[in-house]
Amino acid sequence: MPSAGPRHSLPPSALSAALSAVVGEAACLVGRESLLVYECDGLTHHTGLPSAVVLPSSAAEVVGVVRACRAAGVPFVPRGAGTGLSGGAVALQGAVVIECSRLNRILEIDPDDRVAVVQPGVVNADLSKAASPHGLFFAPDPSSQLSCTIGGNVAENSGGPHTLKYGTTTNHVLGLELVLADGSVARLGSRSGFEAGYDLVGAVVGSEGTVGVVTEITVRLVPVPESVETLLAIFPDVVSACRAVGRVIASGLVPAALEIVDRRTIEAIEASVYAAGLPRDAGAVLIVELDGPREALGAEVDVVRALTAAAGATRVEVARDAAERARFWRARKGAFGAMGRLAPDLYVHDAVVPRPKLPEVLARICEIGDRYGLRLSNVFHAGDGNVHPNISFDRRDPDEMARVLQAGEEILRACVAAGGVISGEHGIGTEKQDFMSLVFGAADLDAMRRLRDAFDPEHACNPGKVFPTTRFCVESDPKARGYDRVAFEA
């Protein structure tokens, strides 16, 4: 588990003076108590203490901070709200954290062109709120959307329950402003979404903060659907709920969302402030949301009722009104928070498997959790085949911590063996860098490294992430033997 302290030899006072000169003293944190707040993201067992945290309030200040870091030979890491679940925003090698919460302005909403221009620190849900008077919304809706930022969404290519119909963040980003590691500013993409040449916006989305600091984002807005129906299909177990997902997809329907919540998750939700009256006797519930023209939805509801019943649903409820629908979603999106009641730590896994494999993979995940004696629950974007086995644990218990990690690795390998991939939306960060070779060969990783080098040849931006740290890969990565390690490591 990474827990890297400062690896440059600059006196803290010189670094903080250089950074304070750019952002002002109040926006430059160097006290240990302040830095501890930033030692991890949502993956709490991966930690690293930054040398300093700066809170710039303009792109020009970001440029100044990056130049100051470069002059001092200190790496830096962009950070949004710190809700990431793969260690992406953790400062390794004594990096300076560039915290984007003050870059939080919605610069423009153009309802005619269905486009918005935002700074990276805008909170995801705030954009949809601002767009709603125009009948528009920002489609990527991570369950963390009340706190995560659009800059973080871009870096992780985040998804959410409605990814099934609307796509992930990459489908909604038209243009980006990016401060590169040498302090120069690149403007990528275009407002129209059309661009000649290489798709560099596509390369930056999902690059996990390793190619520069995003300082402005132009996004697509989509129309709020005319009508929505939300169904709750109740199943005796999670495996039969998975079978229903296969039937719905095979029918040709494209629901806006297909989410599964298992029994343990329901228990945690119903005992928490997110309680929504979910059936406590259910083995699992499948939330099916349909949206579109009013006339079409009645028939689609009937189809879903029939398909879920055929897969073993014991009953199907339909949200009576918008308030009930909102309650269901609050419960679904509050599920991770509700699990805070079960144990001090929560490890949210993330992998994707082909949807027809969901029943067997879920059965295997539950078997692994039981075999290791862990409190494992499942709440996930089933329509995408994106599983999220969640393990509630206490990292102060070394034996339990070891079992959590072993079980996590077995789960990941089971997903890959089923034809899956190692992350659907949470990214690689520090969490999965040593599992990259499960799905990528040496040539694939080399191509990714070269792409990263084109943006940040010295790996000063968010070092120590994404790429494997194993011996083979270190040897095949010249940067891992060069400036990246020599300049920044003790």
Ligand X SMILES: Cc1cc2nc3c(=O)[nH]c(=O)nc-3n(C[C@H](O)[C@H](O)[C@H](O)COP(=O)(O)OP(=O)(O)OC[C@H]3O[C@@H](n4cnc5c(N)ncnc54)[C@H](O)[C@@H]3O)c2cc1C
Q: How far is the CB of 118 from ligand X (least distance, A)?
A: 11
User: 3-state DSSP call for residue 477?
Assistant: coil
Token digits for 429? 């960060």
Q: Which is nearer to ligand X, 16 or 170 (CB)?
A: 170
Radius of gyration for the alpha carbons in the chain, expressed in angstroms and rounded: 23
Please report how close the Cβ of residue 264 comes to ligand X at its closest, in angstroms. Answer: 16
**Binding residues for ligand X (CB under 6 A):** 41-42, 77-85, 88-89, 100, 120, 142-144, 148-149, 151-153, 155-156, 158-160, 208-209, 213-214, 336, 425-426, 462
Under 8 Å CB-to-CB from 391, ≥6 apart: which residues?
A: 346, 347, 349, 369, 374, 375, 376, 404, 407, 408
Residue 93 phi/psi, 5-degree rounding, is 55, 35
Between 156 and 300, whose beta carbon lies closer to ligand X?
Answer: 156
Cα torsion 88, 89, 93, 95 to 10°: value is 150
Minimum CB separation of residue 455 from ligand X in Å reads 11
User: Could you tell me the smallest distance in angstroms from the CB atom of residue 387 to ligand X?
Assistant: 12
Helix (H) or strand (E) holding 233: strand 227-235
DSSP string, 242-307: HHHHHHHHHTT---SEEEEEEHHHHHHHHTSTT-----TT-SEEEEEEEEE-HHHHHHHHHHHHHH
Q: How far is the CB of 29 from ligand X (least distance, A)?
A: 15
* Least distance to ligand X, CB of residue 281, Å: 26
Nearer to ligand X, 300 or 431 (CB): 431
Nearer to ligand X, 82 or 383 (CB): 82
Q: Which residues, in sequence order, are bridge partners of residue 291? A: 228
Q: 83 vs 377, which CB is nearer to ligand X?
A: 83
* Secondary structure letter of residue 459 according to DSSP: -
Minimum distance, C-beta of residue 434 to ligand X, in the bound complex (Å) = 17
Query: How far is residue 295's CA from residue 99's CA, in Å, rounded to a whole number?
Result: 47
Question: Mapping DSSP to helix (H, G, I), strand (E, B) and coil, where does residue 420 land?
Answer: coil
Min dist. Cβ of residue 280 to ligand X (A): 22
**Residue closer to ligand X, measured from CB, 152 or 369:** 152
Is the Cβ of residue 81 or residue 222 nearer to ligand X in the bound state?
A: 81
Contact 118, 95 (CB under 8 A): no
240 vs 386, beta carbon nearer ligand X: 386
Taking the complex as a whole, the smallest distance from the CB of residue 302 to ligand X amounts, in Å, to: 29
E strand segments, 14-111: 28-29, 52-54, 76-79, 96-99, 106-110
Contact call for residues 288 and 258 (beta carbons, < 8 A): yes
Q: How far is the CB of 306 from ligand X (least distance, A)?
A: 29
At its nearest, how many Å lie between ligand X and the CB of residue 461? 8
Judged by beta carbon, residue 346 or residue 361, the one nearer ligand X is: 346
d(CA 458, CA 473): 17
Our CB check for ligand X shows the closer of 151 and 246 to be 151
Of 306, 259, 311, give the one whose Cα is nearest residue 286.
259
For 8, which DSSP code? S
CA distances from 165 to 141, 159, 162, 201, 488 (A): 12, 11, 6, 22, 44
Cβ proximity to ligand X: between 346 and 480 the closer is 346
Dist CA 61 CA 386 (whole Å) = 38
Q: Residue 107's CB: how many other CB atoms inside 10 A?
A: 12
